[in-house]
Amino acid sequence: MASSLTAELASAAARLIVEEGMEYGPAKRRAARVLGRASVRPAELPDNDLVEEEVRSYLALFCAETQPAELRALREVAAVWMERLQAFRPHLTGAVWRGTATRLNSIHLQLFCDDAKEAEIELLNRRIDFDVGSLNGPRNQPIDVLSFSTACAELGEPVTLHLSILDFDDLRGALKADTRGRTERGDLAALRRLLDAEAP
């Protein structure tokens, strides 16, 4: 059972995630600062599962009227880009896949290909203006992340896509479920099943 401090941090982080579209790690660190616990021990920080539970509770309490439509709009944009990038075996991950996204969240796609430059060339061919960043990948090695904005008619504003470029070999473990049977990512067929199940 989580300590009272851990639970308090999870609740504060969830509010930042929903209201400001923050990622989990930065939200937990800022929550600690907001609560005056900047020097909190790592063991007292909530894990992502606990934070996600708090996010779902917050959404149900404060965003039930708006969040489902915003999530669907983001998932539809993701589906369009997964179709366009099908050659790179795209998988949707993050809040848009897990069902906790609002209009403030970015869309995170993972592409599995042998050469990161192939994805860059594809975006250049589509005349997409993108930025190149990096983050730690599955093997604690830096991987390229291509980021760009794209229109979302349903939301009436652009949304940001982040494309993480992973090795083709990483695809084998991509669909493993967690202890609760939930997967961290899904391919286009899985996303379409979600969209069909949630169709109004």
Average pLDDT for the chain: 91
**Which residue type is seen at 199?**
A
State how far the Cα of 143 lies from the Cα of 56, in Å rounded to an integer: 30
26-82 pLDDT tens trace: 999 999 999 988 788 888 889 999 999 999 999 999 999 999 999 999 999 999 999
State how far the Cα of 104 lies from the Cα of 22, in Å rounded to an integer: 8
Q: Which two tokens stand for residue 179?
A: 């202890």
Q: Enter the DSSP assignment of 44.
A: G
168-181 pLDDT tens trace: 777 766 566 655 66
Cα separations in angstroms, 126 against 1, 77, 129, 158: 50, 16, 9, 17
Q: ∠ CA(5), CA(183), CA(119), 5° rounding? A: 110
Placement of tokens 């991509």 in the chain = 174
State how far the Cα of 87 lies from the Cα of 126, in Å rounded to an integer: 14
Confidence label for 156 from pLDDT (cuts 50, 70 and 90)? very high
- 38 phi and psi angles, rounded to 5 deg: -60, -25
Confidence label for 106 from pLDDT (cuts 50, 70 and 90)? very high
Q: Is the pLDDT of residue 2 over 80?
A: no
Question: Interhelix angle for 67-84 vs 188-197, to 10°?
Answer: 150
Predicted confidence at residue 114, as pLDDT, reads: 76
Cα separations in angstroms, 100 against 30, 132, 184: 20, 26, 13
Predicted confidence at residue 1, as pLDDT, reads: 46
State how far the Cα of 136 lies from the Cα of 87, in Å rounded to an integer: 23
CATH topology assigned to domain 67-197: Beta Polymerase; domain 2 (3.30.460)
Beta bridge partners of 93: 108, 185
Kindly tell me the burial class for residue 151, based on how many C-beta atoms sit within 10 Å of its own C-beta (0-12, 13-18, 19 or more). Answer: exposed
State how far the Cα of 163 lies from the Cα of 132, in Å rounded to an integer: 9
